[in-house]
Amino acid sequence: MGTITRTFANNITTSGVFKPTAFNNASFDNVTAVPSGSLPAGGNMVLLSTQTASSSASISFTSGIDSTYKEYMFIFNNIHASTSSKFQMNFSTDGGSNYNVTKTSTWFYTYHEEDDTATGLSYSTPNDLAQSTSYQPLHTFIETDDDEALSGYLHLFDPSSTTYVKHYMSTLNKSTYIQAFVAGYGNTTSAINAIDFKMSSGNIDAGTIQMFGIL
């Protein structure tokens, strides 16, 4: 017992705090389970689905949006347009049969010209919605040049609620100098269970969209 007591004491500071040397890989060899509640919960991202565009008229997620997660995030990687158009989205409450949820939103953007001739911060009335079932623009017009790819993310909160409206917000960056910020809500107490992404005209030429559930 004396040796064990001395070893234990040598690994504690005078203030009663364990020293870093008290722990090593062998310290946890016999741990088989972590007690419930001993680790903080939440914050984990779970990849649910990935879709790759290839001259696609639209990309829809019609499964996996349910009460399993309180928050969903969609990550856009190098979205490229076939024609000059806006990247946009809409929600569905009937599994994708109709994308027509009423939405109200706010929309602003920052910009910095590539030749450094102008910078700014501006509100964009043509891109916001006021109790509209139209598709929500997530960015300004994307041209077809290779350096016009679009990347960013969209958050959708508690889509399965049948009590509250459905909040969303997004941030997307166009590599030629414009970053757009969009926030709003789907004005429905029905569960949202599908989402559709498409260009305002033409196809999504290339790019990937990933859907994550956030615990």
Among 26-40, 75-89, 131-145, the least confident range: 26-40
147-200: pLDDT as tens digits: 889 999 999 999 999 999 999 999 999 876 899 999 999 999 999 999 999 999
The DSSP secondary-structure symbol of 191 reads: P
**Domain segments of the chain: what residues?**
45-214
Pick among 1.25.40, 3.30.70, 2.60.120, 3.10.450: CATH of 45-214: 2.60.120
Res. 100: pLDDT tops 60:
yes
Centre a 10 Å sphere on the Cβ of residue 183 and count the other Cβ atoms it contains.
Answer: 15
- In degrees rounded to 5, what are phi and psi of residue 113? -60, 145
Centre a 10 Å sphere on the Cβ of residue 74 and count the other Cβ atoms it contains.
Answer: 23
10-35: pLDDT as tens digits: 666 766 655 666 655 555 455 555 55
